[in-house]
Amino acid sequence: MKMILENYDAPIEDGPFHYFFHQGDVFILDRGFRDSIPLIETYGYDAHMPPNKRRQDTQLSTDQANKSRLITMVRWVVETINGRFKRDFKIFRNRVFNKHVPHIFEDFRFAAAYFQDPYEDSPYTEDFIEIINRNIQRPNRLAEYVEENNLNRQRVTFHRMTANDPEVENFPQLTVEDLIKFSICTYTGQKQ
């Protein structure tokens, strides 16, 4: 990424990358680009990557976890498309050798023509966006309760429960649709 941004073998302003991308463009990246983030931002691009937890932390903070979920939701589409190509075409599973470079884009176009079903938004997309916007700044009261009472430090024996147990008779009954909305998608790659 650094070589592409700096147009390694020519003046930076002649680089095709900066011709297609402009200051303020947003890059949704995976953690593999972590060393390139400062340079990407130097050129005026807006880079987003799932946050890492600090060494002393046992888990991400609520804000970090919410940011990670948002980025993962956007990247999920890219990863499932890549997964389709790698699953169905061996050439895209491994590193590309130099002899393939001149025709790799043409190979990619032929492979893309193989897929008949385009990806479509989930029927719940608008609901997901509303849920995220409504809850992104909300404090995580459950996490606060768990930490305050050291529930994350206690060993508990597993107790099997069924829907008929009197202890859970007032627990809300959720439909499959409720569960999909609660978890903000199914991440299966299948149409819903």
Where in the sequence is the domain holding 77, given as residue range(s)? 57-151
Whole-number pLDDT of residue 57: 82
Residue 66 shares a structural domain with residue 40: no
Sequence-ordered list of residues with C-beta below 8 angstroms from that of 22, at least 6 positions apart, any chain: 44
Is 184 domain-assigned? no
Residue 89 shares a structural domain with residue 145: yes
State the first-to-last Cα distance of the chain, in angstroms, to the nearest integer: 36
Residue 74 shares a structural domain with residue 124: yes
**What's the whole-model pTM score?**
0.62
**49-101 confidence digits (pLDDT tens):** 998 888 888 788 888 888 888 888 788 778 888 888 898 988 888 887 777 77
Residue 103 shares a structural domain with residue 131: yes
**Residue 78 and residue 74: Cα distance in Å, rounded?**
8
Question: For the CA atoms of the chain, what is the radius of gyration?
Answer: 22
**pLDDT grade for 191, boundaries at 50, 70 and 90:** very low
**pLDDT grade for 12, boundaries at 50, 70 and 90:** low
Residue 13 shares a structural domain with residue 84: no
Is 133 domain-assigned? yes
Total domains in the chain come to: 2
Final residue belonging to a domain, choices 28, 49, 70: 49
Residue 41 shares a structural domain with residue 2: yes
Q: Give the rounded percent of residues in the chain with a pLDDT score beyond 90.
A: 9
If one counts every other C-beta atom within 10 angstroms of the C-beta of residue 72, the result is 16
Is 4 domain-assigned? yes
